[in-house]
Amino acid sequence: MNAKQSTISSEVSLMGVGLHSGAMTKLTLCPAAINHGIVFQRVDLEGSPLVPALVDYVVDTSRGTVLETNGAKVQTTEHLLSAIGALQIDNILIKLDGPEIPIMDGSAYPFVELLEKAGIEEQNALRNYFKITEAVQISNQDQSVELAALPLDDYRLTVMVDYQSKVISSQHAQLHELSLFKEHIAPCRTFVFVHELEALFNAGLIKGGDLSNAVVIAEREESEERVEKLAKMLGKDKITIGQSGIVNDEPLKFKNEPARHKLLDLIGDLVLVGQPLRAHILAARPGHAANVELARKIKKTIAEAAKAAPSYDVNAEPVFDVNYIAKLLPHRYPFQLLDRVVSLDGTTVIGIKNITMNEPQFTGHFPENPVMPGVLTVEAIAQTGGVLVLTSTDDPEAYWPYLVGIDKCRFYRNVLPGDTLVMRCTLLAPIRMGVAKMSGEAWVGDKMACSVEMTARLVKKQ
């Protein structure tokens, strides 16, 4: 899995029809900056409104995943998002001049090819992975649908489907490496049963559906009259239902193509969590509604983790050790108060300060009752935030980071010799004109020692 964020290198476009709307739409993929995220833009609407690819904006999952905000709707997002997620693209702007992502051939393969044509470019910021540490699970009332995200220091997906159908038996699909997505998952097409087709048609949907963008499955023999009616729905003069049970005996790409397509959809829907995951996703009979419910629950888990004390693996290699920190920050003994950086992405940094009795402040600050001066705790938080701000630039060693504002500072407990201070700084807004607003915290174990809001400014070295 990629360590750094990525975007595409150039702008690329394609045209296609929407499966449900039947509208011909131009799709344009554009490069985007660090921490921009995956965002749709309806350029055909007044003001060209933006629709972030986040589970917060899902409004419908009945026949695809639909996003909407401020009156701007984007339908059938899952196949494109699956390609973006599998290729580990973090930042991209998706322009549309219509309401729906083109269905193409019903798979993710055309989008993979389009993204590869654009080229994938690494960016100077770490990916903000969320590592599942405890199982996150959802199921429906009768447990016919069950999904879980389990702890794993990687990203894998396992899917099982069972439609109680003579044509589609119980099937499994797995993806253990994202690098295998293009060959083994991306070509797998969406599928629909004949009885679903009629209901969708009568509901005014699948206006852009035909045999070129979906596998149509008949579970029983049909009368000539009914076959003619189906042909009309699909815009064909004639269709046949052979012994395979698939209209026109369309060959499957894989024996378990339906299960693989469900895995494809699952990847796309979980992109809506908003950050890449380290987890093993298990799904029994998934669908868009269940996928989105799991995405919501994972995002809630992430929000809860952000409020809890930051944790780190003491055995893991640090992102930056004390020697590299000295290259980034101008501070030197006795004012270099950051020993290591253990986590860093475009919006959050976690740093470590080990408090020892032989530090000079303890000789004069309450020497009979040594306590870390509060101003030095704030300074340690500020230095941690300085690393976050500096690494947002392409040349971090070319700037001085200055603390220019402190607000809402509170102290909750004393910091003593022998404590390990764990500091977390998070951007409150994107950095603009070299000015960054951050929230900062310092923790000892699971107890918060200090919280503060800070404003920092980057100044170019002369």
Q: What is the DSSP letter of 75?
A: B
**Between 392 and 407, the higher pLDDT residue:** 407
Residues 37/149, Cβ–Cβ less than 8 Å: no
Residue 314: inside a domain, yes or no?
Answer: no
- DSSP code for 10: S
Is the pLDDT at 251 greater than 90? The verdict is no
* 70 and 138, same domain (yes or no): yes
The answer to whether residue 313 sits within a structural domain is: no
Q: Is residue 262 part of a domain?
A: yes
Residue 327 and residue 298 share a domain: no
Residue 21 in domain: yes
pLDDT mean over 18-30: 89
For 368, other C-beta atoms within 10 Å of its C-beta total: 4
Whether the pLDDT of residue 250 is over 80: the answer is no
Express each pLDDT in 272-303 by its tens digit.
999 999 999 999 999 999 999 999 999 999 98
Show which of 307, 332, 347 is a domain's final residue: 307
Q: Do 360 and 453 fall into the same domain?
A: yes
> What DSSP line would sit under 116-166, residue for residue?
HHH-EEEEEEE---EE--S-EEEE-TTSSSEEEEEE-SSEEEEEEE----S
Pair (360, 393) in one structural domain: yes
One domain, residues 263 and 145: yes
29 CB-near residues (< 8 Å, 6+ apart): 8, 11, 12, 13, 92, 93, 94, 95, 114, 115, 118
Residue tagged 């949907």 (tokens):
205
Residue 109, domain member (yes or no): yes
State mean pLDDT over 32-45. Answer: 94
User: Which of 307, 339, 371 finishes a domain?
Assistant: 307
310 secondary structure, DSSP code: P
Domain membership of residue 426 as a residue range: 322-460
User: Does any domain span residue 370?
Assistant: yes
Q: Is the pLDDT assigned to residue 210 strictly greater than 70?
A: no
Catalytic sites, residue numbers: 288, 365
pLDDT at 43: 97
Cα first-last separation, the chain: 39
Q: Is residue 316 in a domain?
A: no
- In 32-50, which positions are buried (b, 16+ CB within 10 angstroms) versus exposed (e)? bebbbbbbbbbeeeeeebe
Do 370 and 270 lie in one domain? The reply is no
Identify whether residues 13 and 110 lie together within a single domain: yes
Share of the chain above pLDDT 70, in %: 92
- Rg of the chain over Cα atoms, rounded to whole angstroms, equals 26
Query: What's the predicted TM-score (pTM) here?
Result: 0.82
CATH number at residue 451: 3.10.129.10
Strand, coil or helix: 456: strand
The residues near 52 (Cβ < 8 Å, ≥ 6 apart) are 37, 38, 39, 40, 69
Q: Is-contact 55 279, C-beta < 8 A?
A: no
Q: 273 and 125 share a domain?
A: yes
Could you tell me how many residues make up the chain?
A: 462
Are residues 328 and 456 both part of a single domain?
yes
Domain final position from 246, 281, 307: 307
Q: What is the CATH number of the domain that holds 18?
A: 3.30.230.20
Beta strand pairing status for 4-8 and 66-69? unpaired
The answer to whether residue 246 scores a pLDDT higher than 90 is: no
Report how far residue 424's alpha carbon sits from residue 191's, in angstroms, rounded to the nearest whole number.
46
For residue 118, being part of any structural domain is answered with yes
Are 167 and 277 in the same domain?
A: yes
Rounded Cα distance, 396 and 392, in Å: 7
Nearest to 100 by CA among 72, 75, 71: 75
- Rounded distance, CA 8 to CA 114, Å? 10
Confidence of residue 220 (pLDDT cuts 50, 70, 90): low
Stretch 209-227: mean pLDDT: 70
Q: Do 39 and 64 fall into the same domain?
A: yes
* Residues 362 and 285 reside in one and the same domain: no
Domains: count for the chain = 2
- Give the tens place of pLDDT for each residue, 174-191: 999 999 999 999 999 988
Give the range among 63-77, 105-119, 386-400, 402-416 with minimum mean pLDDT: 386-400
Q: Lowest-pLDDT range, 170-179, 189-198, 395-404?
A: 189-198
